[in-house]
Structure 1
């Protein structure tokens, strides 16, 4: 498996296909919510297995030393095999290389333990995002 970091223009087709499969078809997120204003400026991590994209995530620079990871998605048949971990580690490493001091993300409740294993901490109350319960999480990289 290979993780590649690409700008949206190069990532769009593969990233959107995975996000459509996971978020729109599997989790029933409304299609109009899936693409947003952050995609064009984000760095997108894509996991490839034998030239097929099987997972994706993105990193948005929020300014002021803060970054946000989002749109983490792995095709169902490839979950629990370390794909998401490699994507997340790649995005964290990218944020560090860009000088980020902290990374935030909006975690689905079921995914909190996954992010906690990599050092993210829960922050704030549960809220609804696209019909799915979420909580904010943060990883402090430096003080």
Structure 2
């Protein structure tokens, strides 16, 4: 059975704007994250991954930081990528898009020679990432006013 969406790197004209629109819908409008915190300087060099429905609608997104940007977030290890800004629109939840986006980001990390992927998960999402092979480490910490935990998965 085929899925009603495709996950790919955001390289087509308009893809980055589609990624940002999903993030605005989920993080800013739905979760109340201030817009000035949602978008940052890391977006410029990040690999953006996008889930697109059969009708061309953006359904989900996530990003991969690598190199110096990731090292700044992962404790200085440039061989570890940083997964972040994973979001799926409300109407598209339950279709497996979140897991497909994570796997797409991991594929992008492998293609860039990374050995692991780190992320900062909202605590309510720990089980989701654990089912995908991520392991939590370190204490809980606040990010944009919400509790998070660091997690990592070797590739």
After TM superposition, the score normalised by the length of structure 2 is 0.86
The yes-or-no answer on 1:134 pairing with 2:151 is: no
The yes-or-no answer on 1:52 pairing with 2:57 is: yes
SS across alignment from 1:122 = strand
Contact 1:8/1:42 (CA < 8 Å) preserved in 2?
A: no
The yes-or-no answer on 1:29 pairing with 2:33 is: yes
The number of residues matched between the two structures is: 141
SS across alignment from 1:15 = helix
Q: CA deviation at 1:87?
A: 0.6
Unaligned stretches of 5+ residues in structure 2: 72-77
Contact 1:3/1:86 (CA < 8 Å) preserved in 2?
A: yes
More strand by share: 1
Q: CA deviation at 1:51?
A: 0.3
Structure 1 residue ranges, 4+ long, deviating more than 4 angstroms after superposition = 7-10
Where in structure 2 are the equivalents of 1:1-143 lying within 5 Å? 1-7=5-11, 10-49=14-53, 50-61=55-66, 62=70, 64-141=78-155
After TM superposition, the score normalised by the length of structure 1 is 0.93
Q: CA deviation at 1:11?
A: 2.9
